[in-house]
Structure 1
């Protein structure tokens, strides 16, 4: 199943177009590799998705074309959620 479709059906991301945008920005990894929206997702894959200042890591448990809202959370297991520290930009002093 395509990554963008899985994210929408599982409701990890609400809209498929938004899932595609997030993938284009390089904010999704599958098993440690940067993923495209068209990447294939298989049962057992680990997805890491960066949402703002948070990274959510989930394992794919089930693949279905259509699923009811109540059952969508059974398609994945959240393995961890990491909060990123806000990184201050470095200022470089030019010496003259």
Structure 2
């Protein structure tokens, strides 16, 4: 697979007039929590923060020996496969029954 979209996208900040990365829930991914936000996918050093640009989606590829590479690509002009993370809550027990 090439150009695997992992749910991040960009949005222009109202306060600073700069572009920022958002996760799939619309929460900002800052330089300090970039690694934590993507820890479910691959380990990544926060020093590898990708500059946010207008209308970019967060992508993942691999280099030699499976090293992850995160980068942005235009969201609407390039077809991209999507990697989704599903969080399934266990069924609650009512009256001792599942």
Q: Normalising by structure 2, report the TM-score.
A: 0.29
More helix by share: 1
More strand by share: 2
